[in-house]
Structure 1
Amino acid sequence: STAILWDERRLAPLEYDHLWVSRRPDVVGSRSWGTRTVRMLTWIHFEDLETTRDFYVVDNHLDHRSERARRKGAKLNVEVVSRFRSPVIVAGDFNCDAGSKAHRTLTGAGLTDAWEAARERLTPVSWGTFNGWRRSPDEGGPRIDWILVRDAEVHRAAVNVHTENGLPPSDHWPVQALVGLR
């Protein structure tokens, strides 16, 4: 799954969908383009109960082996996001570095990389997001997890390297951003 969690005291989901990153995105569990693993994206249209503003969140997990599948997955994201008329936040494990063809496809379609746009970065630029279950950040490693935005300003961004009892939460460090809707 590509889970999206929210505070129900602040946000109300208006609509949502799950799509599979394949030639047949509406077919549950489908895969294409040389992938061995089923990959998907989830989107939710939210209303902010405090401001009544609406926005979309898209969460992704693109393939870790097939560069073609990542490019096609980026194009699927562009198709999905192009239908949305409100601000958008696209996030996830893209399994390729910023500057890759998939990243260029998304940023070339009007999405802005939150890491690059942030007024303030709270962690070093050199930290990669894949940790392979290591307990400390990878200096100089690739940033393969991104947050991209449209019609939003990014105040702060960081790679969260918090561990519990010395153990990372995943084989990736979470990327975080403080975003304000325009």
Structure 2
Amino acid sequence: MSTLRVMTFNIRGAYHDDGVNRWEQRAGLNVETILRHTPDLIGFQELQHGNLEVYQKRLTEYAYALGPRAFNEEPHEYNAIFWKPSRLTMLAQGGFWLSETPEEYSSSWNAGCVRVAHWESFHLLDANIKLLHINTHLDHASEQARVEGARLILQRLPLLCHEQEPVILTGDFNCEPASPPYSLFLEGGFVDTYQSADNKHSNTFHDFGRITPVTGDLVEKNTMRIDWILQRDRKNIFTPSSCTIIHDARLPLYPSDHYPLITDFIVRPRG
């Protein structure tokens, strides 16, 4: 029996004017949060070069791949995947744009900006199994773009892995559970690990403390639990043992305007 700890984390790009929570002020806390929780596999959203420069110096036990860029001009933005080579070997990687022309830099369906999906195929060394990790960020402005983006990810799955291969899907989905994209993923065989761990509803986006944790009560604007770790696992190899929203902060500093989410899996290979 093995374990795997997976994190999804929208880190808020390095080039925003966020006052006291600008990247230069919160970068140390951001890295401390990641290192304290020691994930084996991370799906980052909104990673920009300024974030990457810090991670290259501080997250030295991780390998990484950036995937397709979400902006064609500086500052480029990526749905990067980081992993521990001591636990995982990367076998293949790729990505596609969430649009009607997914092989080229593009957007569709009234999306507010260009969106991408980044995938990595891994060998989990101590369990001797293969898994697929997809990391994405659905559109914030257009429900049609979120729905069609979810459909495209599901349509691409047969091209990326065998039906019986475990799939872990991380991301900022910019919509709540029970939304149309969420329902599409569940209809496609995915399970919400936060629900599997019997958690109560809570928010993951907090806008640097303007939205209270745990209850999701409003302070300035509406939000939902929009960051998810989903899994599709036909052979029941990965069992979520816990799924936690991480509320690390050192007020008035936060690691990001989103709380990271961590799922711990128990891995039981089956013949």
**What TM-score, normalized to structure 1?**
0.90
Kindly indicate which of the two structures has a greater share of residues assigned to strand.
1
Corresponding residue for residue 126 of structure 2: 50
Offset at 1:100? 0.2
- Amino acid in the other structure paired with 2:111: T
**Counterpart of 1:19 in 2: which secondary structure?**
strand
Corresponding residue for residue 8 of structure 2: none
- Structure 1 runs of 4+ aligned residues shifted over 6 Å read none
Corresponding residue for residue 181 of structure 2: 102
Kindly indicate which of the two structures has a greater share of residues assigned to helix.
2
Offset at 1:142? 1.3
Matching of residue 145 in structure 1 with residue 227 in structure 2: yes
Distance 1:78 1:129 in 2: 24
Greater mean deviation of Cα atoms: 137-146 or 14-23: 137-146
**Counterpart of 2:156 in 1: which secondary structure?**
helix
Q: Which runs of 5+ in 2 are unaligned?
A: 1-77, 217-222
Distance 2:262 2:85 in 1: 20
Matching of residue 115 in structure 1 with residue 201 in structure 2: no
Distance 1:62 1:40 in 2: 8
Greater mean deviation of Cα atoms: 161-170 or 140-149: 161-170
- Amino acid in the other structure paired with 1:144: I
Question: Which of 130, 151, 155 pairs up with 2:241?
Answer: 155
- Amino acid in the other structure paired with 1:90: L
Per-residue CA deviations over 1:16-49 (Å, capped at 9, x if unaligned) read: 1111111111103x11111131111101000012
Verify the 8 A CA contact 1:47 1:54 in the aligned structure 2: yes
Distance 1:158 1:138 in 2: 11
**What TM-score, normalized to structure 2?**
0.62
Which structure ranks higher in relative contact order (CA pairs < 8 Å, sequence separation ≥ 6)? 2
Question: Which of 134, 141, 161 pairs up with 1:65?
Answer: 141
Distance 1:96 1:7 in 2: 30
Larger radius of gyration: 2
Offset at 1:67? 0.2
Offset at 1:64? 0.4
Offset at 1:87? 0.3
Corresponding residue for residue 173 of structure 1: 259
Question: Which of 92, 107, 115 pairs up with 2:171?
Answer: 92
**Counterpart of 1:59 in 2: which secondary structure?**
strand
- Amino acid in the other structure paired with 1:162: D
In the superposition, relative to structure 1, how do residues 142 and 36 fare at CA in structure 2: closer, same or farther (>3 Å)? closer
Q: What is the percent sequence identity of the aligned residues?
A: 34
In the superposition, relative to structure 1, how do residues 62 and 91 fare at CA in structure 2: closer, same or farther (>3 Å)? same
Offset at 1:131? 0.7
Verify the 8 A CA contact 2:246 2:260 in the aligned structure 1: yes
- Amino acid in the other structure paired with 1:114: T
**Counterpart of 1:176 in 2: which secondary structure?**
strand
Question: Which of 106, 121, 128 pairs up with 2:203?
Answer: 128
Verify the 8 A CA contact 2:167 2:231 in the aligned structure 1: yes
Per-residue CA deviations over 1:87-118 (Å, capped at 9, x if unaligned) read: 01001000000110000000100000111112
Offset at 1:165? 5.0
Distance 1:166 1:43 in 2: 35
Distance 1:98 1:58 in 2: 19
Distance 1:51 1:153 in 2: 14
Distance 1:48 1:126 in 2: 31
